[in-house]
Amino acid sequence: MSIISTKHLKKYYQDKSVTVKALNDVNFQVSEGEFTAIVGPSGSGKTTLLNIIGGLDSPTSGSVIIDGTEITNLSDNQLIDYRLKHIGFVFQAYNLIPVLTAKENVEFIMLMQNKPRDEREERANALLEAVGLKDQIKKRPGEMSGGQQQRVAVARALASKPRFVLADEPTANLDSTSTATLLDIMARLNKEENTTFIFSTHDQRVIDRARRVVTLEDGQIISDETR
């Protein structure tokens, strides 16, 4: 069963007198438990598609339906609440809060959800242990390597128990060892907890690990391969 469905999704930009078709009639479905990579050259529409699925951007036309809810019809406040409760994000630039410790960064989204303190602490500790950072919980982002920061970001993305995680070029700033460790963690979470991951990536190492590869070109899906 599809948890994500886009229908006739279009996103057009006006660049002076030229209309840029970032997405041009994209129909795309994702089922629970997928480990999917969206690939294509720069400007193909990968990040735009992820941002619209995640409710961070609005389409020019078309719809995004998640678990039966058409998020393209939600108000701004409803969309903020929906993202908070249902969608996890991992960004290329980590986007951790510099003044908070690793544990506090993971707890932050649960704090926004008004989860009890004991529940927040228990889940943050468990997630940081799951991503191999049990001994780093009191460190702030500036005291951690890029690979460690990205693992904190993965733990944070999972803190709200989202329906799926959107990862936009999550390995772009990582070395080979950190990338392999991060992908191992994500693959394990995907397998053991049935967490759905959708990547936007140029990284062949991510593409090689994906079980489904969707290729975009000029805002359109040109191939969709399940391995």
Average pLDDT per 10 consecutive residues for the chain, totaling 227 residues: 93 88 95 95 92 94 94 92 91 89 94 92 92 92 92 90 91 87 89 91 92 96 95
**Residue 23: per-residue pLDDT:** 96
Domains belonging to the chain, first-starting first, are: 2-226 (3.40.50.300)
Residue 181 backbone phi and psi in degrees, to 5: -65, -45
What pLDDT, on a 0 to 100 scale, did the predictor assign at position 193?
83
The three-state secondary structure class of 127 is helix
Q: What is the pLDDT of residue 60?
A: 95
pLDDT of residue 122: 94
The rounded distance, in Å, linking the Cα atoms of 93 and 171 is 10
Q: In the prediction, which pLDDT does 137 show?
A: 93
Nearest one of 220, 150, 215, 224 to 183, comparing CA atoms: 150
Q: How far, in Å, CA of 138 to CA of 95, rounded?
A: 18
Q: What is the pLDDT of residue 135?
A: 92
